[in-house]
Structure formats: C-alpha cells, structure tokens
Amino acid sequence: MSEFVSVVLFLAAIAVYSWKAGRNKIWFSLVLTLLVLFVLLNATLYASNYFTGDGINDAVLYTLTNSLTGAGVSKYVVPAIGLILLLFLLICLLSWLLRRHDRPHRLGWSLLAVACAAGSVQTTPAFRQVASLVASHTRLADSDFDDYYKVPKKVISHPQLNLVYIYGESLERTYFDEQAFPGLTPELGQEKAQSLDFSETVQLPGTDYTIAGMVASQCGIPLFAPFDGNASASLSSFYPQNICLGDILKNSGYENWFIQGADLRFAGKDVFLTSHGFDPARMYGSQELKSRVADPAYRNNWGYYDDTVMDEVFEKYEELSRQQKRFALFALTVDTHHPDGFISRSCQRKSYSYEGKPNQSFSAVTCSQQHIARLIARIKASPYFKNTLIVVTSDHLAMNNTAHQYLIKQPRRDLFMVIRGDRPQAEVIDQPRSTLDNGATVLDILGGDSAIGLGRSSLAGLTLAGQLTDFQNHINRWKADIIQLWNFPKKLDRFVIDQAKNSFSFSGATFRLPILFRVSDNHVEPLPEGEYSAPLRYQLADFTAGEKFVWVDRCFRMARLWKPELAISTDLCVAMGQLGGQPSVTRIDKPQWKGQVNFPQGALSTENYQRNQQMIRVEDNDIRYDADRFLFAVPGAPSSVKRFSGISRWENWGRWSNANLAPEVNIEYVDPLPARFDVVITARAFGPNANRPIPVRVGDQQQLLTLGETPSTTTLHFTNPSGSHTLNITPPEPQQSNLGNITGQDPRRLGIGMVDIKIVPQS
C-alpha cells in the first residue's frame, strides 16, 4: 500500500508543479531534488534487492563503503552503465516536465508540490530501510556512552610474547581464600602467589555467564542483546562491528586457537570466536576432540574432563612453539560447572570436606585447579616459557552450586592472574577493576593498545571501575547503546529463508532457524531458541493478544494450531499474525524462499486468544495428531494412542527408547488392539542391542524383533485374544550414552531408535 501511495504522490508532485505552480528557480530546484531522490532511492532498492533478496541492508552499506577489490564486479559493468544512463534520462525527463509551462509563480501550488514530493520520498519503502539503517548507526540521545567507549588500534606493532589464556569455569578468586577454605587450591594458589594477581576484579551486569564473560574479557563490553545470551547460537555473527582481542591478535600475525571440553556450539561460542579472529579449523570442542583424545568415552555431561583438555592444550602449545609460530592459545575448563561439578579420574585429591562433610562443588574446584596448575608447571618447565604470557581467569563468578551458600558469605571477586615468562613478577594489584578490563590489560602487556571498548589496562592507570564510583549504574544506563552495537534492523519487511544454510535473513541480519520475532512498528525483537531457553511456542505464549509475530519453525509446531493439513509435516513453515486473531501458516517450498511480512487482517478476539494460548501450552507428549502410525520424528502421538512411556524426546529422525524413564517402551492405545494384526516397525538398535532378539509383547503374546545399527522395517504378526490395549518393547541391554543428548544433561540409557510404528489389522 505504501508503495502505491508514494508513486501517487510522486506523480501528483509533477502534475501540480508543472501545471499550477509556475516558474521559480528555487522551488524548481527543491521539487526536482526531492523527485530525483525518490528515483535514486527506488533504483538503489531495486539494485540492492537484486543482490540481497531483502532490500537495502548493512551488507549493501558495507560493500559501498569498503574496497570492492576481488569482488568480481566485471560482469555487472554493462548493466550498471545502462542503469546510470536510464537514471540520467529520467532526470532529464523530470526537468523537462517541471518546466513545460511558463506562467507566473504561485507559492501555494509550489508548497503543495513540495509536500507531495516530500511525501513520496517519506512513504517509499526504500526511505524507511535507509532511515532504519542510518538510525542503527546513530548513538542514542543524552547518552555519554561514546565518551567512554574506545576503539583500540587494530594491530600490535612489535609482538614479542605468545599467549596462553585459560578460562576457569566458575573459578572465582574467592575459592583461594585460605582462611575461608583452607587447603582448597594449594597448587594453583602457589602459582597465583608468583603472578601479577589482580585482586579487585568485580563482576558487572551482562558478564555473569560463560559467553558473556568471554565477550567482556575480549571485547570490553557486557553481553547485552534483545534475547537470552545463551541462545546467541542462533546468530550468524556476533557484535560484528566491534574490534576485540582476537581480531587484534589475528591482525598482528597470531594464530588464534581455542580448546574446550564442551560443545563449541553451545551459547554461540563458535559464532563469537569466528566473528572475532578465530579460524573454525583451530577451534576444538567435544565434537572435534573425539578423534584426538586417547579415550573418547571418558567424558562428563558437558564434555571432556579438564585433565584431557589441559593435556590437549599443552600438546598444542609445544607443537606451535616448536614451529616457532606466533600464537594465542585460549582454553576453557568445564569440571567446575554448576550445580556440583565433576571429578576427573587423574586428580590427586578427589574430595574436599567443608564443615565436616564432603562437598562436590569444592571437590570439583580442588580437582580442576590441580590440572590448571599442572599445565602451568609444564609450560614453565619447557624451553619456550620465556616467550610466553600465561593468563588464568574466571569466566564468571560461581552460580548456584553446592558451595554457593558458603561463597556468598565472603567478599566475592573474579580471578585474574598473569604470569610473564619474559619478566617474572609477583605482585598483588588491588585497584578497582572489572572483567571488562582483562583484554585491555593483556593487550597492553603484549605491546598493543591499553583500551578495548569499556575496558582499560590495569597497568596503565585507573580503569573505569576506579574512575566512576557508580560504574555499575553506568553499565545499566548504557544497555541500549550496547545493544545498538549489534546493528539489528528496526523493520522486518522482506526476508529470505535459506534451507541449505538453515537461516533467516533480513536487512543484513541473519539468524539460525528456528526463530521467532516480536514485531512492532519501529522494533524487531528476535527470540531465538537455545538449549536452555524455552521452546519458541512457549515464548510465543507470553505475547499479548495484539502483539505481532513472525515464526519460522517445523510445520508441525504451528500447523496443528492454524493449518491442520500440515500438522505432521516436518518441512519448514512460516507463521505470521497475532494470537488474538487467526495467524497464517505457509510451507517453505523452495531451497531459498523469499517472503514478505503480511499480517492477516481481521478483528482480534478474546476467544481466539484463549484458544491459541491453550493449544500452544500443551505439553509435547500430550499432543495428538491424525495419522495411521506413530511418527516419532514429531512431538506427541497419533490420536489412537492414550499414553506412552520409556520413550525419550523427539529428534529430527525419530526417538530413542530411554531405560532411565522406564525399563521398556510401553504404548497404550485408546481402543483394544485388533484380534489379528501386524506391527510394522521402522527402527534401529543402539550398541550391543544390534542383531539381538528384542522381545515385543501384546498381552501374553510375544514376538522377537532383530534390528541392525541402521533403520530397517520389520513386520511382526500378532493375535490378541485377551483384547489387550498395550504394546511393549524391551531392549535387552540399554546403554548409557550422551549421543544426541542436550548439553549438560545426564546421559540416557539407549536401546532402540524408533522412526515409526504402524498397527495393521488383519482379517
């Protein structure tokens, strides 16, 4: 509609000035300028949409303001020349039309022509996109954020030291208090006593979980974003315009490496690192370490134990040092993760008692710090130590673990200690600082700048935490400014869904699927789905009746609500609308699908809102769908099934049996099973259950099922003289495994992986 209005106003401006206003150089120039601007904006939109599929976005701005060297633009030269000639002819035509009639100037008609021309510019979608883009690069009014935010130099002029930077999961400095916790950290405490020990490192808002602590320490800013930070894996880039420590190291000739025991993809650590100087080939997490570690099965709920990870770090340190490379080697431990940590098999002290009772969290701390201290000792004993800077730091203060009640009684601080191989130095530095200052301090020691973002080197003077007595309040006041650093668009109009990349893109921003957006006139709030954030439908349930949304997910998630014919489809769908209305659902039927936001019109009602709320909040296992078989790749069960047990959560391929939930798979049907019927089952076996007889029972009748390690379809014949309602499957040897598990959850006991089960009556 706005496109039509803008064209009408454009034509009206020409007609009014040409036929009514008369000649006047000033008014002629003003009207012509506005009309030419209208033409240029729409030409830019057309050209941009040709390349991006979603109009004028940050990618266009970046391309226009950076070097096009190597961009392969030669094949576009002829179309570009043609477009320029066409624009020139259009401008000439406009000039001729406006000057056609030679009559005395009339101010009122000129004012009307200018108003129409200005309206045509203001209402064109191209203007809105450009205005939104400009606004995203403009700081907020009345904010002093820019007075304190510093962009560091991009390179270190003469780097001398290699860097080993260890994040200790929840390993706060409080644990090192010998009076409060005697004998808890003797090994690493001894190393701390020989280091530069920054004793007053406080935790600020937006720095209090792992990915936020990493962002704070490397970019000098808190992690503030319009979504749960642990869901940031849904993004394709991370604070894309900020210059962080990893960027500077890479620009200075360092090879950046990152090694941890947990999955790199959790909380978007891989996205953050690859956005700021790290090559994916030099990043190792639980998936990448499988082929490198001596015992791939030796791991905890989160990933590989700290002894394994620290050994990998030292091997990489020696390898890179022997090759005489300039490198930065980052590592992250996991054994001290809340709620109670993990005890590795190689630590010398596996237990620590507090107040006469063994405490698992303290035990994990005393164990993990041994592995970090051993790594430091091995580096110190190597011939390469003199060229090395070692940093040991908390990623954040400990969360609510089993030691938390004792920690909160103490003055709590984050750990940040620095060991210089070129200049051994033992000193406690007690000036006020925060984890925002860690990257700047490291950069300063390496010979670079002394400021990154809001961070300042603690060796170069007062930090902002020392300068501003209410620094935490400043951080909270700057939240909107910090969110603006993401350059999120303010409008969601056209978008592209790329099924191969599993992505949703609009106005230069790209998100991984699934994704939900809360959309208003001047704001777009992304609500990604993370392992520890609520499923998107539950997030949608918190919307008011009139709030607009765009939701891209598997069809079965939304279609059971608003398009029943797609209720069991595993394809992608996009839903748009309001919970108080009747949202639309459209199946994505192309590999790259270009769409436009179009919210359904119609009155909102309390009845619709309550119905939608009720259906959205149905638990997965309580969902029922119309189908002739049990489809395990979608939530719920067919309407013929009353209840089931012993079955794990649904996955894209199907579901595992899980003996932790029940010793056997039990499917109870609403009606008695037929007197004679076949069970057609498509499934596979896990581990030692493969090629072994698996009992399948109906009442007192039993058949044996044999499965391989890949899915196959088997038909079993049953009679049911007792009229039983229940089908039971008993895997003979369920195995504990983290295969396909949610990070941090207890291993499941897997038996068989089920794709579908169908009951076929026989006469």
Structure token digits, residue 396:
């954040």
- Residue 60, H or E segment: helix 58-65
Q: Crossing angle, helix 25-52 and helix 58-65, to 10 degrees?
A: 110
Rg (CA), the chain: 32
Selection from 165, 162, 166, 163 nearest residue 369 by Cα: 166
Q: 């315009």: which residue's tokens?
A: 241
Locate the domains of the chain by residue range.
Answer: 2-136, 163-484, 494-618, 624-761
Where does 174-295 show beta strands of DSSP type E? 196-198, 201-202, 255-260, 283-284
Residue 81 pairs in a beta bridge with none
When the pLDDT of each residue in the chain is averaged and rounded to a whole number, the result is: 88
Q: Which CATH superfamily is domain 624-761 in?
A: Galactose-binding lectin (2.60.120.430)
273-283 tens-digit pLDDT: 999 999 999 99
Alpha-carbon gap, residue 697 to 720, rounded angstroms: 10
The two tokens of residue 616 are 């959205």
**Cβ-proximal residues to 501 (8 Å cutoff; 6+ apart), any chain:** none
Q: Are strands 255-260 and 283-284 parallel, antiparallel or unpaired?
A: parallel
Residues 6+ apart with CB under 8 A from 347: 307, 366, 367, 368, 370, 371
- Phi, psi for residue 243 in degrees, rounded to 5: -100, 115
pLDDT of residue 71: 32
Burial tier of 297 (Cβ tally within 10 Å: 0-12, 13-18, 19+): exposed
Task: State the DSSP H helix or E strand holding residue 735, giving kind and residue range, or none if neither.
Answer: strand 735-737
State how far the Cα of 508 lies from the Cα of 486, in Å rounded to an integer: 11
pLDDT at 227: 59
| Top-confidence residue, 213 or 27 | 213
Q: What is the pTM of this model?
A: 0.72
DSSP designation for 299: B
pLDDT band per the 50, 70, 90 thresholds, residue 133: low
Compute how many other C-beta atoms are within 10 angstroms of the C-beta atom of residue 63: 15
Is the model more confident about 100 or about 395? Answer: 395
Alpha helical stretches, state H, 290-388: 306-322, 360-381
- For residue 456, the model assigns a pLDDT of 98
- What superfamily would CATH give domain 163-484? Alkaline Phosphatase, subunit A (3.40.720.10)
CA separation (Å) from 709 to 685, 686, 689, 696, 753? Answer: 5, 6, 9, 18, 9
Confidence band for 365, pLDDT divided at 50, 70 and 90: very high
Give the pLDDT confidence of 383-434 residue by residue, as tens digits.
999 999 999 999 999 998 999 999 999 999 999 999 999 999 999 999 999 9
Please report which confidence band the pLDDT of residue 89 belongs to, taking 50, 70 and 90 as the band edges. Answer: confident
- Summarised one tens digit per residue, pLDDT across range 462-482 is 999 999 989 999 999 998 899
Residue 217: the pLDDT is: 98
Q: How confident is the model at residue 74 (pLDDT cuts 50, 70, 90)?
A: very low
Read off the pLDDT band of 61 (50, 70, 90): very low
In which band, very low, low, confident or very high, does the pLDDT at 32 lie, cut at 50, 70 and 90? confident
Rounded Cα gap, residues 731 and 495, in angstroms: 47
State the pLDDT at residue 2: 65
Average pLDDT over residues 219-247: 77
What does each C-alpha distance from 57 to 124, 274, 507 come to in angstroms? 15, 22, 4
Cβ–Cβ < 8 Å for 616, 746:
no
Mind listing the pLDDT tens digit for each residue in 195-221?
999 999 999 999 988 999 999 999 999
pLDDT of residue 84: 75
**64 — pLDDT class (breaks 50, 70, 90):** very low
Give the amino acid at 282.
R
Model confidence band, residue 309 (pLDDT cutoffs 50, 70, 90): very high
What are the tens digits of pLDDT across the range 631-682? 999 999 999 999 999 999 989 999 999 999 999 999 999 999 999 999 999 9
Query: Does the pLDDT value for residue 362 go beyond 80?
Result: yes
